[in-house]
Amino acid sequence: MDIRTVDTTPFDDQKPGTSGLRKKVAVFQQPHYLENFIQSIFDCVEEPRGKTLVLGGDGRFHNRAAIQTIIKMAAAAGFGRLMVGQGGILSTPAASAVIRKYRALGGIILSASHNPGGPGGDFGIKFNIGNGGPAPEKDTEAFFRRSRQLNQYRIADVPDVDLERVGETPLGDLVLQVIDPVADYAELMEALFDFGRINSMFEAGMLDIRFDAMHAVTGPYACEILEKRLGAKPGSVMNGVPREDFGGGHPDPNLAHARELVGIMNGGAGAPHFGAASDGDGDRNMVLGQRFFVTPSDSLAVMAANAHRLPGYRMGLAGVARSMPTSQAVDRVAERLGIECYETPTGWKFFGNLLDAKKVTMCGEESFGTGSDHVREKDGLWAVLFWLNLLAIRNESVESIVRAHWRAFGRNYYSRHDYEGVDGARAGELVEDLRDKLAGLPGKRLGEREVRYADDFAYTDPVDGSVTEHQGVRIGFQDGARIIFRLSGTGTEGATLRLYVERYEPDPAGHDQETQEALKELIQIAENLSELRERTGRSGPTVIT
């Protein structure tokens, strides 16, 4: 096998964000761009010679071409085994599961998650370490530093590989193993949940579901697990065939982008009992009942409160963790259970140390992500199976379960307002001006509320002591209400400015308000304080969840 050393020059924009390096497809298609970033990773990881690497993606445009390049570079780098999902497909949680099961050095996941696909869409690369989780910041910083110095990369001169045939192919010292992308993940799910009990509900006709795969990576997983193994009726999985452009849709499982599913679930008495959707790479989830939306924050809290009922979690939870902008609903569950609740920055990588140290068992983010210690990624289909198992155990509707939870713990009214594609300079100035105001806010009245604290959230990792700063502007009031401003790191165009608003209502008599109405005063306070609409030039949010 011949190995070529190719001269190159550095790119100055290969700094990974919250979830890896994300750019427009056209950027990755530039000569040497993909190769430079992959070589930067290979130059920084542990000695690869003889080690196992996992590779796959969400099937979006450019996935197959990128995989062929990475296979050749992995052969040149000296890896001993490369495990690739059949057809180049491997969901993000499944990739984490495979890395962990086979004790790989790590894995490369090709995805831009919930961002649109197609030739004019987005593409992304993320490296996951040996625990199955996203590379921590010290590693991604090392990748970026190396990318700024790189002047050569190495690639094997071998033909493209057949990605459709499961089996092994030798490429010099590398064994390329094309694997069934679903098998190992499905086996793990069967170990965590009572498939027999869920199947009984389907067989008895007591459970009708719709799962919207959004023409993304979870289609094959959902068809195999939900329809074939659990017995959901054919057609329960919608949009189940992955497409390079996600069927022209936006694979983000929320009320705005999963409109077809939302319409079905709001369809009256004949609507399915349970609805769910997942995103481009399979790590996010949205849960719906009949005419009832479960916020991701409430979903995490309900799951934590009921985990002991499910086979994989009968020993209870060691602790829970949530990202800072996620509502405090799960905090109340943790207090009742007598376990720790950790508040981290946004980004699943921050949960990794807590999970590895066995400080937490379950974690979640308000951006439609929940997971547990079974992998080191959020996991959309896992969350769906958790809810299905809970429905089979409690034999109640989704709405009944959530309302019972509110009666027991109180309701955290919560909403996120996204201002997408905002001019980056304007968004940055808005946040900086808010930071300048923080010191003067405690004790001040905003509207009818008194500010208790105001800060720029910083996190000290309780495991390794690392400090992460500037993670979002928080303003908390004496009654526990909060408003939060944060710039998101998952987009590829402009900036996404997010406003999070939350207030707690302990009285069941106050649990039936419409969410935006219940939060109206806080939203007005936030907009006035930040001059949000004037400074972004927007009349309102792009998306409300």
| Identity of residue 130 | G
* Average pLDDT in the chain: 96
Q: Which two tokens stand for residue 184?
A: 């190992």
91 is catalytic: no
From 19, 96, 111, 113, the catalytic residue? 113
Sign of the torsion angle spanned by Cα atoms 46, 52, 57, 59: positive
Q: Which two tokens stand for residue 65?
A: 């071409």
Q: H or E segment at 77? A: helix 63-77
Question: What is the distance between the alpha carbons of residues 228 and 210, in angstroms, rounded to a whole number?
Answer: 14
pLDDT of residue 492: 55
Q: What is the mean pLDDT of residues 431-451?
A: 96
Q: What is the mean pLDDT of residues 124-133?
A: 97
**pLDDT tens-place string over residues 274-300:** 999 999 999 999 999 999 999 999 999
Q: Which two tokens stand for residue 245?
A: 């452009």
Return the minimum-mean-pLDDT range out of 188-192, 455-459, 531-535. 531-535
Question: What is the distance between the alpha carbons of residues 339 and 48, in angstroms, rounded to a whole number?
Answer: 40
Closest among 125, 20, 91, 16 to 371, alpha carbons compared: 91
Closest among 53, 100, 57, 59 to 73, alpha carbons compared: 53
pLDDT of residue 213: 98
- Collect all residues with Cβ–Cβ distance below 8 Å to 439 and sequence separation of at least 6: 454
Question: What is the distance between the alpha carbons of residues 348 and 119, in angstroms, rounded to a whole number?
Answer: 28
Closest among 288, 215, 253 to 60, alpha carbons compared: 215
Rounded to 5 degrees, what are φ and ψ at 108? -110, 125
The model's confidence at residue 85, banded by pLDDT at 50, 70 and 90, is: very high
**pLDDT tens-place string over residues 217-229:** 999 999 999 999 9
**pLDDT tens-place string over residues 447-491:** 999 999 999 999 999 999 999 999 999 999 999 999 999 998 555
Distances (CA, A) of 119 to 58, 87, 110: 15, 19, 15
What domains are there in the chain, each with its CATH number? 2-181 (3.40.120.10), 185-409 (3.40.120.10), 411-544 (3.30.310.50)
pLDDT of residue 1: 84
Question: What is the distance between the alpha carbons of residues 229 and 282, in angstroms, rounded to a whole number?
Answer: 19
